[in-house]
Amino acid sequence: MKTLLVYYSRTGNTRKIANTISESIECDIEEIVEKDKRKGIIGYLKSGYQASRGKAEHIEDSKYKISNYDLLIIGTPVWAGKMSVPVRTYLKKNMNKIPLLACFCTTNRSGIENTIEDMGNYVNTTPLASFGVKSSDIKNGTYKNIIEKFALEVI
């Protein structure tokens, strides 16, 4: 199955998980890049506000054509119990091109289930596989077992 892994990461946690997944399965990988930056406390507050309102944001064009893939794995941080604004924008841009979907999210506290549900509902599909990881699991390395299980579900 030809797979594309797309993710957005504000702090680096989602990037770390995405890179670990790409080491576990054969796939192309791409980071969603925003045209506006979200640094510091102002960026954090703006992120939560926009996510709770379902806003879109300007992102750079993707280098990969999603229509060339059988599976899209998409990763996002949890913002106000929802997917990040850049991921929402990416999904909106590619709404009618999404093949099978798998997704993951990272969070400091909670919101994993709501965020996974938010992504599936937004594109009107049930993900083939999904998982969420807390920041504490990333710091102590226990996320690797979760990714191994996820990799087996998507290959």
Q: What is the CATH number of the domain that holds 101?
A: 3.40.50.360
Q: Are 86 and 8 in contact (CB under 8 A)?
A: yes
Distance, CA of 108 to CA of 76 (rounded, Å): 12
Domain count, the chain: 1
Render pLDDT for 131-143 as a digit per residue (tens, 0 to 9): 999 999 999 999 9
Render pLDDT for 84-99 as a digit per residue (tens, 0 to 9): 999 999 999 999 899 8
121 or 56, which is more confident? 121
The per-residue pLDDT for 89 is 94
Q: Are 90 and 59 in contact (CB under 8 A)?
A: yes
- For residues 102-126, give the mean pLDDT: 94
Render pLDDT for 16-70 as a digit per residue (tens, 0 to 9): 999 999 999 999 999 999 877 777 777 777 777 777 777 777 899 999 999 999 9
Q: Are 86 and 20 in contact (CB under 8 A)?
A: no
The single-letter DSSP state of residue 28 is E
Main-chain dihedrals φ then ψ at residue 66, nearest 5 degrees: -60, -25
Instruction: Name the residue range of residue 83's domain.
Output: 3-154
The per-residue pLDDT for 33 is 94
pLDDT at position 77 over 90: yes
